Every structure is written in structure tokens, then in C-alpha cells.
A and B are shown apart, each in its own frame.
Chain A
Amino acid sequence: MLGDINPAVLIASLMVASVPIILAAIGELVVEKAGVLNLGVEGMMIMGAICGFVTAVATGNPYLGFLGGAVGAAALSLVFGFLTQFMLSNQVATGLALTLFGQGLSSLIGQGYNGVKPPLTGTVPLGPLADIPVLGRILFDHDWVVYFSVASIAAVWAVLKYTRVGLILRAVGESHDAAHALGYKVIRIRILAIMFGGAMAGIGGAYVSLIRVPQWTDGITAGAGWIALAIVVFASWKPWRVLLGAYLFGGITVLQLNLQAAGAAIPAHYLSMAPYLITILVLVVMSSGKGRASLNAPAALGQNFHASR
């Protein structure tokens, strides 16, 4: 049975399937690195999906659509930023409320857009490269967002590791009091991180409504935002592992559907649980190591900051 599945195609499919969760997860990773836990990813994604869709339909330009998705979701994330950073509200509760609000608002904006077909986004023309056997199908036959998603991981990785911006961001996430004492504007940095997270989730959502489906229907993101949250944890806040995690989560779904199509009988529900259980296992292995440092979780994650002096 397994012999009937072409691995090149399987890999190519899972790369496409993982794009929305990669984008949302890498955005959330930056947010969490700054010490903020925003559980509203699903709400931001679906806002991105509708804002991107509306923009693309209105302008006829899919690229502007992605921009619109990023802006719309970033605007929504600003609500979260304002509440948690200025009004010092609890991040867990605010994030959950953000998802509720985003789902409602997106559906309101989307009324009248059912059955509309958005302008199409083509694959990036890489000419003869796409014709290379196996590799061509895996690497050189995708739309630009697929490349963008991988590039964004590389960029986040490089920025966090090598730049001053990354250093400051991590400092804020580790100890806001220390960062504040060093003269960094904790609140401002966190707000910017939250907006970045929103924008990336928005692009991820727009990918669903503009390329994956492509159409607007209520609830179109169907829980992808929650998976993105799980992947950040799986990745233990390391950018490249986000890619691995997203391919694992996306891959299991794609694989089980492919196995079915190839005629294999598989227990779909139990297989679908596997990535979550693996993530828990990874968490346990990491945290049972040498204390907090090996866990790599930002120490100030989920705590609000108020400069008392």
C-alpha cells in the first residue's frame, strides 16, 4: 500500500498544507519570546482570512490581499496589546476573548462574500527548475507564500540569534524588570511583537481564504490557530523546529488521507491524536533536562509588566 504513495508529492502537499500554521506559529513564537502569551491566534487568523479576501476581491490583486490580511489581523491584535499591556488584563482570558470577537467580527465583515471567487495567485515561475525530477516537484513548484513561510522562519531565526533587536526581545521575555532597568521600553517592544504576531497570523489566514480553498465561508480556518499554538510549544520556541513541528502536524493529516486514498484502513482518530501526544512527550523530555534553561521557555511568559518605579 505504502508503495502506491509518491513521496515527492506527499512532501510537496504537506509543505502547502503547513503554510498557514507555519506563518501563525512563527508569529506567535516572536510574541511569546517577548514574554506575551496570546491565545487569540485563531481569531487573528480568521480576521486575516476575511480582510485578505475582501481586499483581494476589491482590488483584484492577490498580493494586496495578503497585505490587507496582515493589516486586519494586526489591527485586531492591537486590541489584545492595548488590553494586556496598558490595561494589564490577564493574557489567557484576553486571548480567548479575542478569538470569540474575531470569529464574530469576521463573519459580519464576510456577509455578502459567499460564493465569490478571489483573484488567483499562481505558482512562482521557476522555469526549468520545476521540471527536475522529484526535487522539482518538492521545491520549485509552489506559490510565493510557501517560500515566504520558510523565509520568515529563517528571518526570525537570524534576527533572534544575531541582532540587537533579537537580544532586546529575548531580554524583555526573560525578565521585564531587568530589561526595564536597562532602559528598554518593555511595553512598546511587546506591543510591536504582538502586532508582528497578528500580521503573520493574518497572512496565514489569508493563505487559507485566497489560495488553499480559495473562498470565503464562515469559520474557514477551522482550528488552524490552535494547532499553531501547539506547534510553538513543540518547537520549544526555536524557529527551525517550528518548521519541523508544522510538517509533523500537517504531515500526519496529509499522510492519513493519502493512506486512505491508497486503500489502507487506518484508525484516523487515533492517528490524529499522535502529534499532540508527541508534543507533550517532547515537552516532558525537554523540561526534565537541566531545569528551566533547557526548556527554553521565556521566563516572563504570560506575566504582565507594570513599571512601579
Chain B
Amino acid sequence: MLRLEKRPSPSRFWQAATPILAVILTMIAGGIMFALLGKNPVEAIRTIFWDPLFDPQYAAYSRPQLLVKAGPLILIATGLSLGFRAGIWNIGAEGQYIMGAVFGAGVGLALYPVETRWIFPLMILAGIFGGWLWAMIPAILKTRFRTNEILVSLLLVYVAQYILAAMALGPMRNPEGGGFPGSRNLSQIPSMANPELIAGTGLHWGVVAAIGVVIAAYVLLQRHILGFQIKLAGQAPRAARFAGVSPERLVILCMGISGGLAGAAGLFEVTGPAGQISIDFNTGYGFTAIIVAFLGRLNPLGILLAGLLMALTYIGGELASFILGLPSAAIQAFQGMLLFFLLAVDLLTNFRIRFGSKKEAI
């Protein structure tokens, strides 16, 4: 009989090997699906995983695009992972991302057409503030009234979406846009734009911020007392309390950091790649980031890789979609499979699989 036995500490070998195993399993299962759809599975898998990186026709453009797509995912996921480690579940990053964009764009648009250098930094601050504010609602309700933060943060996503729609149709509507919903294109206004910093690299301020945040989070978790408290609170809440960790303070801090970073991601998107406030501005980065955080095993460097892998499946999926005529739904299902496998094989990191009877264990 198969049996699971908890490892005393997570296996280093499997921590590195499981993602590779998951990708291989996904290639097999996905290949079967593509074959069923009448496509050449090898070609499809190659187009998704290889072409964006190495194909001579596309790679020069697609490779930097990985950063553009992964940037917001990494920025949000890194923030979320701190809370997740401490057992604080902010799943409303999508809402905080929206509010960051709304606040940031609001400040910028209010100042239009002033052209000075300090507008963009001001917008970043406003974006961080918007995301932080939206995360503070569940945080304060949690600390004051013990209200479940999973649910409140999720509910606030819907509210944020309605606010976004109201803004795009109302106060932020471009007066020169012929009555169509949507704001001015911020990426075309020099003082508000978040452009590509070095041509051909995909680097914009959001990507720079994401890389900075990954490093900061790594240092925080390894060296700083707060990182220690976060890890302790997640693993042994009672011990944390005895060690003088204030759970309330931790909730406020973790929610605040994750909200602020999600807000920043929203601001960098709305001023850069997305360009404007519109009803469909949010495309699910906040939710995808939750998955990225778990794929990265809540570890900053892992998240960096997971974000890039996720971006690769998006971009490779796009290529496969139009080169091979794969339905976009097949790509969606393929991504779902990849996530399933990645989540499933994580078991091997924390558990040993044993054959035999029940008694011999620990």
C-alpha cells in the first residue's frame, strides 16, 4: 500500500526537481490533448516552450516580452508570498491592482496637461497608496473584528471592478475620445509614461521594481527580524506569540506590503503596457499572481522563475495559437494542466512515499 510520510525538513533535491518533473508531465498530457485536436504535439510543445526563446524569427522580440508579462506577476506574487508564509491570506490582489491603477491614473489625469518631471513619481506613490488602502480594509477588519481576510479581500475585487467601470465611463473618460469609455492614453503623455527604458530589453520601471522587490524580499526573509517573525508566525503561531510577535502588527504589515506592491503593479501597467484606464483594464494578474506565488513555493527566487515560466506559457501560447491555429481555449486548458501538475508534485518535496504497512513509520 502507498503511504505518505512527512519529511523532517523539505527535500532540497525535490524542491529543484519537481518543477522540471511537472513541466515534463504537462508536455506529455498536453501533447495528448494537442494530438486529440489534430495538431502535431511535438511541434505545439516546441512552439510554446522553445520558439519564444530561441526561434530566429520571433525570439529577438519575444524574449524581452517575457519580462513585460512576468513583471507585474512577480511584483504582486512576491508581496503576497510574505503574507502567505505568515498565514495571512490576501487573495484580493486583483482589486488592489485595480485601485493602484485608478488612484495613480487619477492623480496623473487631474494634473493634465501639466508637464513636469515629478508627476510620474507622484503617480507611483498614489498607485502604491491606492493598493495599500484597498488592502487595509480587510487588514483592519481582521485585526479589529477578526473578520476573515480571504473573504473580504475577495469581495473587494468586485467592488474595485465596479469602481473601475464607473471611472472609465465617468470621471476619467477621455474628453477627446469621442464618447468612448476609457481614459486618455497615459503611455503617450511624456510626464506620465512608463516607457521601455533600454530599447529592445522590455525593461520598464515595473520590471525594475519587480527585480528590486525580489531581492529585497530575499534579504528580508534571510536577514531581517521581520522575515524571521513572518516565518515563525506561519509555522508556529503560538511560539510566535510567546516570542513577542504581534499578530495584529504582522497582519497590517503583510497586507499593507502586498496591497502596496499590487497597487504599484497596477500603476506601472496603466502607464506602460496597458496605457489607459478602461473597463477591461484588469486581465487577471492579481489572481494569476496567487498561483505564481505557490508555484514559486513562496520563495522570492522561486517566484521570479515561476513568473517567467508563466509568462513563457502566455507568449508561447500566443505563438502556437496563430502559427498552428490552436484554439486559445486549448492554451488555457494547457496552462491549467501545468498548474495542476506543479501543485501536485510539490508533495514530493515535503513527503516521502513509502510502500508497506502503517506501523513502521515515525
Contacts and interface: CB of A to CB of B under 8 A. Distances in A.
Interface string A72-100: 00000001000100011110111011101
B336 A97 contact: yes
A287 B290 contact: no
Interface residues of B, number: 51
A168 interface: no
Interface stretch (A101-109, A118-126, A146-154): A101-109
Interface centre among B89, B165, B287, B351 (most CB of A within 10 A): B287
Interface string B296-316: 000000000000000000000
A106 B330 CA distance: 10
A162 interface: no
Contacts of B350: 88
Interface string B151-168: 110111011001101100
A94 B287 CA distance: 12
Given A230-B158, A287-B146, A218 B346 contact: no
Given A89-B347, A302-B150, A104 B334 contact: yes
Contact of A279 (B155, B294, B344): B155
Interface in A108-133: 108, 111
Interface in B326-358: 327, 329-337, 339-340, 343-347, 350-351
B89 A287 contact: no
Contacts of A100: 332, 335-336, 339
A58 interface: no
Contact of B340 (A39, A101, A107, A279): A101
Contact of A283 (B4, B91, B152, B337): B152
Given A108-B37, A295-B146, A272 B333 contact: no
B6 interface: yes
Contacts of B339: 93-94, 97, 100-101
A276 B155 contact: yes
Interface string A222-264: 0000100110010000000000000000000000000000000
A308 B6 contact: yes
A73 B145 CA distance: 36
Contacts of B156: 276, 280
A101 B148 contact: no
A306 B295 CA distance: 21
B239 interface: no
A169 to B, nearest CB: 20
Given A92-B89, A104-B330, A104-B332, A283 B343 contact: no
Interface centre among A94, A106, A269 (most CB of B within 10 A): A269
A183 interface: no
Contacts of B6: 306, 308
Contacts of B158: 226, 230, 273, 276
B235 interface: no
B282 to A, nearest CB: 13
B141 interface: yes
B91 A295 contact: no
B204 to A, nearest CB: 26
Interface centre among B155, B327, B334 (most CB of A within 10 A): B155
A182 interface: no
A180 B348 CA distance: 24
Contact of B290 (A92, A107, A276, A306): A92
Interface of B is mostly: helix
A230 B343 contact: no
A104 to B, nearest CB: 3
B147 interface: yes
A291 interface: yes
Nearest to A43: B336
A270 B170 CA distance: 12
Nearest to A286: B147
A270 B158 CA distance: 11
A103 B159 contact: no
A35 to B, nearest CB: 14
Nearest to B345: A87
A37 interface: yes
Interface in A295-309: 295, 297, 302, 306, 308
Nearest to B148: A297
Contact of A90 (B145, B155, B294, B332): B294
Nearest to A80: B340
Interface in B35-55: 37
B135 to A, nearest CB: 14
A1 interface: no
B181 to A, nearest CB: 12
B152 A104 contact: no
Interface centre among B144, B165, B343, B347 (most CB of A within 10 A): B343
B254 interface: no
Interface string A277-294: 101100110011001100
A100 B166 CA distance: 27
Interface in B254-294: 287, 290-291, 293-294
B362 interface: yes
Question: Which 4 residue pairs of A and B lie closest in terms of their CB atoms, listed nearest first?
Answer: A101-B336, A104-B332, A104-B333, A107-B329
23 contacts: A79-B340, A87-B343, A90-B343, A92-B89, A92-B290, A93-B293, A93-B295, A97-B336, A104-B334, A104-B336, A108-B327, A111-B329, A267-B166, A269-B166, A276-B155, A280-B152, A283-B141, A284-B147, A287-B146, A287-B148, A288-B146, A295-B148, A308-B362
